[in-house]
Structure 1
Amino acid sequence: MTATDPALIGLAQGWCALSWLHDRIEAHIERALQSRHDLSVREYSLLDVLSRQHDGEGGHLQMKQVADAVVLSQSATTRLVTRLEDRGLLERYLCPTDRRGIYTNVTPAGLRLVEEARPTNDAALREALGEAAANPALVPLVDAVESLHVPASTRLRWRLPNLV
């Protein structure tokens, strides 16, 4: 393939459209969460992922799993956790069976905030997708996003935030 290959050009254009759509959706959600709940998209995503933990085998996430779930580096995740911990929304604790493992848990205040923010996140996502669907070039991407219904069991295995 060369730089003028139509398949390569189409692939690059598709990637640019997907990236543009992601950025627009994220910016729309960011504005809504910041204005109504004083949360960034990353903060909300982290609280959302951690709020879905459960007690028992495989129910708690180590910091590396948290980083993977919110698509951040481990150092960025640590800084994010620290900010939310300083606000009283998260707490860290040592794994009872492996003293090297550090887990993160949402506090009651964090659970209340994420529950209050979830409808805002969901509505902003729907609004952003609706606006994007007005652009005929983005309709296939919007349709693809709207058709994704990831089962809860898969979300837990992949540690994906519940965005749809």
Structure 2
Amino acid sequence: MTEGRRGAAVWLATGLGAGYFPVAPGTVGSLEGVGVVLLMNYLPFGRLGHSLAVGAIAGAIFAVGVWSAGRAEVHFGRKDPERVVIDEVVGQMLTFVARPEFRWPWLVAGFAMFRLLDILKPFPADCAEKLPRGWGIMTDDVVAGIYSFLALSLWQWICA
């Protein structure tokens, strides 16, 4: 791979450089995901349009992440390097895929829930992590994002 393509892959995989943050780079990557969803909240979508747009953008970032995270893994010389945070961006976005109106308590709860599930890796996230290269890096966070979405939705339904 040319140096330029490797550099682009690493830059994308590190969440546009957020993965180089010296403390808790995964948390910083998750904050990027929250930021993307919050910015999308200002676009003129209805509830369904917002969910579809967040899902489509998360899907596109997932595809880029499989490619870039796999190359970054080779670049850093270790499996699932902590500097690769594009997976956290996608997983955190999925937590809020059907939540176009935000209230701070739910935003904080969803953020914390995703971080906890990303760290704990409940089944099948633990199995997904074993997939090769970029697939494993990305897919375990997708599972954590889906679990976080379901838990947040249930919690909101109970509290409504």
TM over 0.5: no
Query: TM-score, normalised on structure 2?
Result: 0.32
Query: TM-score, normalised on structure 1?
Result: 0.31
- Greater share of strand: 1
Larger radius of gyration: 1
